[in-house]
Amino acid sequence: MYDFRPDETLAPAELHRQLCEAADALTEGEPDGIANMANVAALLWEFLPDLNWAGFYRVAPAKSGGHELVLGPCVGRPACIRIPFGTGVCGAAAGSGETQLVEDVHAFPGHIACDAASRSELVVPVKREGRVVAVIDLDSPSPARFSREDARGIEALAALLADRV
C-alpha cells in the first residue's frame, strides 16, 4: 500500500518537494508511462488543495495526420479528448513549450471549458530532448489559485518525468 500523507499546511515549496519525492519513488524503474502518469495524477490530486482537475495530455498522432494532444491519465470530471497545438491553454503550452499560468480562464482566448467550475489553470509541458511529449494540466475552481512558485514546483516535477512518461 502506498500511503503518502501530504500536510496541506506546509509551505508550497516544501509541499512541492515532497510531491516530487513521492513521484520519484513511485515512477523510478517503472517503464510504463501510462502507469506513471496515472500515479502522478493521483499524487497531484492528493498533494495540491483546491483542484477540480489534475492530469496529463500526451502528444499523440492526430486522426487526420500530424500530432495533437490526447487525453491521458487524470483525476476529475471527464474531459475533452483531443486538443490541437495552439488551441486552449493546454494547446498553448504544447505549441510554445512554455508554462501557461492563467489566473482567469474566462479571459484566456480559446480556453476549453471541460468543467464549468474551472476558474484558473496551470499547464506545464513535459519535454524530452527538447521536444514536448506531454503536458501536466491543473485546474482550480478558485480564481488565481496558482502562483509562480506553483509553476516552478510543477516544472521540477515535469523535469523528473521527462524519461518516465
Question: Rule CB under 6 A: which residues touch ligand SME?
Answer: 53, 79-80, 83, 88-91, 111-112, 114, 118, 121, 137, 139
What residues are paired with 68 via a beta bridge? 60
Q: How far is the CB of 129 from ligand SME (least distance, A)?
A: 24
* Comparison of 88 and 125: residue with beta carbon closer to ligand SME: 88
Per this entry, what is the length of the chain? Answer: 165
- Strand boundaries in 43-107, DSSP class E: 53-61, 67-76, 82-83, 100-102
* Comparison of 21 and 97: residue with beta carbon closer to ligand SME: 97
* Comparison of 47 and 53: residue with beta carbon closer to ligand SME: 53
* Helix (H) / strand (E) containing 154: helix 148-161
Q: How far is the CB of 5 from ligand SME (least distance, A)?
A: 26
C-alpha cell of residue 79: 474531459
